A and B are shown apart, each in its own frame.
Chain A
């Protein structure tokens, strides 16, 4: 899939909790606050999946949230990247043998980036969002070298 020029902008992120313990979710909020301040990169949490470029999914996916997870994935416009934050969304973590857990997330929707950790560290989540951005750039048709060049530009 080759993308148009409209992705040439900051990433907006929608956060979905599928039954997480709140640990990762609080770390995601901590990202927005002065210590980590991801808004300086233009990364912003949005209130609706329809505005988002990136889905940030936490939690091991329980039965009641599964249809909502799929619905929100479908509501997010293409091109999109999906990031799973936390060990329980990546592999099930400590919740692996519960009767009410149908995860991990990649059993149900395609996932691009995994950020493990219980909870994932804020720096790790920033790194995950950067990886998702690279994926979206690659979808745009840029080669790996051009992407790296672009990162250098951003850093400068």
Chain B
């Protein structure tokens, strides 16, 4: 081997602040990343296995706890899968309430992500700003559902709680709040030179790679692929809305597929979600919220059901799919969940190629795996085999220094 220094850099898995914590093995020449390998599996809880020992209604709450940020998306997709398998009709009012909850979740998730991304770049003031803005929607979710996270709203054939007359002015207040604050968010994230300088042409995922790797959600839309379940296969109340997938060319007129484009897509989707919530609130139909209010009867009906069902939903991170097979048993015979991050994992490989070590945090954060799994990095010098451990803080420090350097 030549004398040029090549490093092997395993990252993680300690401090697995992702839903799916994992180890990254980087090969590095100087400051450039040559190759990346992923080793997931540190957060395996065997949820699908547990689901096979529980009845359908119990699984809703298990599905909710697959991920604490997507705690409306998984039950949404699961309920749709069971309804599909058992042929249950959901009342229109319930469909609208489901969409309102799902879109409020998207607002909180995207603002959360924006704050984390700013944190990885060293702008903690922006982290605090965006999380302050996020608390408004958390309050609203608490008022509607009773909990800040893990809402417990979804039920087979509808939702568990109605939106009352008294709650509607409070929801409108939140809508107005986000319409006011949106321009500020756009200024901070899209017009700020220091964010642009660190994110433009960083972590590029080309249109072809996005298609080839079947990435989903904002990750793929930022590469120009107009893929959105709400647009491609409208379901629930989305069918009444004309939703168009948001790609970065709406804002800038071009698609680069870099981290900056992913910020654009998420910031624009916040506004889109606010508009969807407003539409649903204005057109909220009257009527029942559950097709079968008695849970014992519902379970007895499901015990007689036989068949397969698929539920798809556009979660904040992309398409989530649940598959259920019912076979006249109390428990489902098969339950399979596929979260969007699973699809997006492999897009890290082309994104990280030829990037600098200091860009690892923002590129990893850019597909929104909740928080980067950046606790610990070991740099091994291939000649001396000396190990140098970088903590998450040190790695972030490198990232901050790079921002300062580029702004000079």
Known: A17-B15, A48-B391. A24 touches B68 (CB 8 A): yes
Residue B132 contacts which of A26, A33, A88 (CB distance < 8 angstroms)?
A33
- A17 / chain B contacts, CB cutoff of 8 Å: 15-17, 21, 43
Query: How many Å lie between the Cα of A84 and that of B53 in the bound state?
Result: 27
Kindly state the separation between the CA atoms of A99 and B46 in the bound complex, as whole angstroms.
Answer: 7
Any B CB within 8 A of the CB of A65:
yes
Q: Report B-chain residues with C-beta under 8 Å of the C-beta of A26.
A: 68-69, 112, 149, 370
Q: Which of A47, A60, A93 has the most CB of B within 10 A?
A: A47
Which residue of the partner chain, among A21, A34, A64, A98, contacts B19 with CB atoms under 8 Å? A21
For A40, the chain B residues whose CB sits under 8 A away are none
A-chain residues with CB within 8 Å of residue B138 when the two chains form the complex: 30
B355 within 8 A of A: no
B128: chain A residues within 8 A (beta carbon): 33-34
Q: Is A152 an interface residue (CB 8 A)?
A: no
Question: Chain B residues near A47 (CB, 8 Å)?
Answer: 375, 391-394
A119 vs B68: C-alpha distance in the bound complex, in angstroms?
A: 8
Contact (Cβ within 8 A) B49 A99: yes
State in angstroms the CA–CA spacing of A33 and B114 once bound together: 14
B93 to chain A, nearest CB (A): 28
Q: How far is the CA of A95 from the CA of B115 in the complex (A)?
A: 30
Check B68–A23 contact: CB distance below 8 A: yes
Q: In the assembled complex, which residues on chain B have CB atoms less than 8 Å from the CB atom of A16?
A: 14-15
Least CB distance from A80 to B in Å reads 17
Number of interface residues of A (CB under 8 A): 38
A64–B46 contact, CB under 8 A? no
The answer to whether A98 and B49 have CB atoms under 8 Å apart is yes
Most buried by B among A16, A34, A62, A118: A118
* Closest residue on chain B to residue A100 by CB atoms: B46
Min CB distance A96 to B, Å, is 9
Q: Are B21 and A21 in contact (CB under 8 A)?
A: no
Question: Is A25 among interface residues, defined by CB-CB distance under 8 A?
Answer: yes
Q: Identify the closest chain A residue to B63 (Cβ).
A: A94
**A97 contacts the other chain (CB 8 A):** yes
| CB-based contact A98/B46 at 8 Å | yes
Decide yes or no whether B90 CB sits under 8 A from chain A.
no
Question: CB distance B148 to A118 under 8 Å?
Answer: no
Complex formed: what's the CA distance from A65 to B13 in Å? 9
Which B residues are in CB contact (< 8 Å) with A119? 68, 148-150
Q: Return chain A residues, CB-CB under 8 Å to B67.
A: 21-22
Knowing A62-B44, A97-B50, say if A27 contacts B148 (CB, 8 Å): yes
Q: Looking at the assembled complex, report how far the CB atom of A39 sits from the nearest CB atom of chain B, in whole angstroms.
A: 10
**Is A60 a contact partner of B45 (Cβ separation < 8 A)?**
yes
Residues on A facing B (Cβ under 8 Å): 15-17, 19-27, 29-30, 33-35, 46-48, 60, 62, 64-65, 68, 72, 88, 93-95, 97-101, 118-119, 121
Would you list 27 pairs from A and B whose C-beta atoms are within 8 A, ordered by A residue?
Answer: A15-B17, A16-B14, A17-B15, A17-B21, A20-B43, A21-B66, A21-B68, A23-B65, A23-B69, A25-B370, A26-B69, A27-B148, A30-B131, A33-B115, A48-B393, A62-B43, A64-B44, A65-B42, A88-B65, A93-B65, A98-B45, A98-B47, A99-B49, A100-B46, A101-B46, A118-B65, A119-B150
Sorted from nearest, which 6 A-B pairs have the closest CB atoms?
A23-B68, A47-B393, A33-B131, A22-B68, A98-B46, A34-B132
B-side interface residues toward A, CB under 8 Å? 13-19, 21, 41-47, 49-50, 53, 61-62, 65-69, 71, 112, 115, 127-128, 131-132, 135, 138, 148-150, 370-371, 375, 391-394
